[in-house]
Structure 1
């Protein structure tokens, strides 16, 4: 028998990743994984950028641990524009997806037993990272305006002292809500007052249906580490993410990344640089993605209202997710096998629960399916409910 570490034992599995095998069946329409629509991924443009990159020999060589200089310059300019203040390129670290950035941050900043504030329900990938770090999770509720920063303020006033506060501030995964601007300002102020760091996980911020991303939390204070990703705005397979934050944090993350993977792929970084630098193309691409996902969101919410009138459904204004609340007494974990038998997948709310079990809730990703399949997916879910 092989003895595994206690750290491994503390990490619960991801119901979403486990579901991918089942929902990959050709007979299943999946509302489960947070996958961008395959039909919206710019494969031809990526192929063109790959050809350009491969003409340069260094694109298939090792690169700097912190990322290619050209990409870091582009990302620094992007983050400077988003935050409304200059962010130098040496405050950018390129990672193998933003999930790696989150993992490296946890290893840099947390010791076992440190308190980490998370939203409840929470992003599963964040829960796994913080559990692996041995953190003591402290859940905060959400409402239609995002994290209840007022509740955080009350708990800080009576002695709560977190090392980190993690938030998916825009188009939350799984709830789909966006933190209101006054709460963003207050969260940054609380970080300054009490000395914790905010980790602003922002893979969906550019996917606002109206094309107007919210002002980041990082625009209001210096104790914020921002995470970004090319996965939802370009393609997941590029595996390009990034973080920006205080110089000390970036330097520590870079050192730990040296022992994690040496460097992110030079080839995919070169491709990403080419795509982001082509601003006319990138703006048009984002417009197309926003328009398509907005249409899919409307189709999804309309179908839920018609076919599942007993279910409460969130109204998305961007991103990829809707949050469903079924009537009292429903067990969405028990419903899932029936749904799969009817050819549709979703993620039960329990997968995201930190404190309350959320037995009547479910997360659905409307972005993955072509518009023509979205209504059919809801129809199959409705059929499963009455089966």
Structure 2
């Protein structure tokens, strides 16, 4: 009897997430995790969320189904935050669902999708799942590599989507410059592709200035309450032309019928309390800035010239290079010393990111971050000794 694969052909082309696999390891006692892209648990506004839950749970309509597009009150509040008409907003189960539904709605098998390299792994998986042809462009310090994209377009390649995490990129930390944003918008208008601007981190700017969205009607923005309020609320959103919203709404009906009315009403309550929310954002951004500085100071003190990085200006990540070090091999040694990170190869499409790593500073206190880097330095030294002790091949 022939062996029949369990998974579909589409799923066979989807890469697993090293980051998700690492989470089980980092939950072990004694492991200091620089790995997960998680917001700080100690900064989640538990009391304010509890207040919102108590107010909403007493309303019978909060426990009922809602429309596939989402609760109108929450869409109105999100539209106000985004500065657009509510008809452009569709609420989703986190912004990852918006990305997955967009891939299904807009991409046919074989269509070209352009991503940054290193890539946000969730985007790569969403586009692999619809069997897109992935073209990866090395990201620059100014965001998406518009020069390489222009050359690609001039050669006749016609992408369906260009995806980017525009602000405090996951994993590289880069933020798209104004010139990059305008160039992307111009190219999209000229060549007819969609820009998917993934923006879960835009409010987490260390200088308090939220970057300007990528302009144009061909830009589809994704947002989320996960990084600013709480991941467990599972409220994200899509901001797009009504035609795109209609397409995604139709798909959402088959995916989950609708989101949680209760959670969406809670998010509406929290986001509409602008005085409280703005103060909350200032507090989070200030704490992350302090933690980012603690991390980079520790990198300087412990690793000196053997590490390269750009100081984070927002978000949750610091992308580092350790020239001459294979960070995938280093990880197993680092775990034995009780520290975890994500090797650069986990985010690579075509680029050689063997000597790179993503460090998240969000979840650890400054003193703990310094201890994590001290353990990392010890692991690097140990790994170097192991390499030197290996017998060389050859005559």
Q: Is TM more than 0.5 here?
A: yes
Match of 1:253 in 2: 248
Match of 2:216 in 1: 221
Distance 1:373 1:240 in 2: 31
Cα deviation 1:313-364 (Å, max 9, x = unaligned): 2210000000010012x11001101111111110000000010231100001
Distance 1:157 1:327 in 2: 35
Match of 1:118 in 2: 115
Q: Tell whether 2:218 aligns with 1:241.
A: no
Distance 1:167 1:185 in 2: 14
Greater radius of gyration (CA)? 2
Distance 1:4 1:333 in 2: 28
SS in 1 for 2:171: coil
Counterpart among 170, 182, 190 of residue 179 in structure 2: 182
For the Cα contact (< 8 Å) 1:67–1:94, is it kept in 2? Answer: yes
Match of 2:258 in 1: 263
Match of 2:45 in 1: 42
Counterpart among 34, 58, 62 of residue 61 in structure 2: 58
Counterpart among 139, 143, 158 of residue 142 in structure 1: 139
SS in 2 for 1:147: coil
Distance 1:294 1:142 in 2: 23
Match of 2:387 in 1: none
Distance 2:277 2:118 in 1: 32
For the Cα contact (< 8 Å) 1:348–1:362, is it kept in 2? Answer: yes
Shift of 1:378: 0.8
For the Cα contact (< 8 Å) 2:138–2:351, is it kept in 1? Answer: no
For the Cα contact (< 8 Å) 2:225–2:234, is it kept in 1? Answer: yes
Distance 2:8 2:373 in 1: 42
Runs of at least 5 residues in structure 2 that lack an aligned partner in the other structure: 383-395
For the Cα contact (< 8 Å) 1:39–1:370, is it kept in 2? Answer: no
Match of 2:311 in 1: 315
Cα deviation 1:47-85 (Å, max 9, x = unaligned): 0100011111111111111010000001111111xxxxx
Distance 2:366 2:95 in 1: 28
Instruction: Please report the TM-score for the alignment, with normalisation by the length of structure 2.
Output: 0.94
Counterpart among 197, 201, 209 of residue 198 in structure 2: 201
Distance 1:8 1:108 in 2: 17
Shift of 1:242: 0.1
SS in 1 for 2:203: helix
For the Cα contact (< 8 Å) 1:111–1:133, is it kept in 2? Answer: yes
Shift of 1:375: 0.8
Distance 2:192 2:49 in 1: 42
SS in 2 for 1:205: coil
Match of 1:335 in 2: 330
Distance 2:166 2:268 in 1: 25
Instruction: Please report the TM-score for the alignment, with normalisation by the length of structure 1.
Output: 0.96
For the Cα contact (< 8 Å) 1:122–1:173, is it kept in 2? Answer: yes
Match of 1:281 in 2: 276
Match of 1:83 in 2: none
Match of 1:84 in 2: none
For the Cα contact (< 8 Å) 2:173–2:312, is it kept in 1? Answer: yes
Shift of 1:154: 1.8
Shift of 1:264: 0.9
